[in-house]
Structure 1
């Protein structure tokens, strides 16, 4: 009887220690998440004209590399992270309108005209489904709603012989 009682106590203590470890890990994860959220809030200051110009300039430089490699998925993701999610003053938007249109145009042409910028290895691996997902993601952005119609892709007209 004593042996059974000792075994039960041993099993209970092991499960108690195991539960304590799980709870400790959950607490660490919650603290980590809260720290991340606080840092995101502190990093979301409103950008002025010069800061936003730098963000746009950096994006355009990165986009050239993505287009060379054909990494259109990363291009769209960076556009959303860097430009769409940037908190920008109205004056900064007005001051950087042309650069904003340029960045928008690069992404729009890259994903809506599949053959554009398709020389890179990563672009060759993209499926129609990949393009559809990128397009849906891009169309949902506020920038798309602001700037749609800015870039009008004209069909190529055949040359007429005289």
Structure 2
């Protein structure tokens, strides 16, 4: 897979993270889960997907490794290219009307929280295929303890319902 990885400052931690990402690409077939090939690694940044997928450096004793973070940010690209945001948001709000919005249970806004249902579902689905149910669930539970708690709870407990909604609105 041909990624264009740039380092913001070339620090040792950015280099280490780049090497770790390349190791993940070598170990797993991440092609089906890669929707942008432009990757930036920047120490101290909050990972984000747009305009360029940007990852923070590895943190010692972090609650989650690099793989789910990479997949999560890639799934933002998948969701934004495959579905009109208003259709996704209204479908998810209709099915899950009382979802908490404020961080750390939600993503801080209604649009972001309901959009994250699809992103986190796709992240979990990719982890299931790559790692199996036990490890994928353990990773999501660790991440769930730090952010998007209500969203990840939904993904872990109502996976099939989310899949049906995404199918109904033409996601895949």
User: Scaled by the length of structure 1, what TM-score is found?
Assistant: 0.28
User: Would you tell me which structure has more strand in proportion to its own residues?
Assistant: 2
Give the number of the structure with larger relative contact order, counting CA–CA contacts within 8 Å between residues 6 or more apart.
1
User: Scaled by the length of structure 2, what TM-score is found?
Assistant: 0.27
User: Would you tell me which structure has more helix in proportion to its own residues?
Assistant: 1
| Bigger Cα Rg | 1
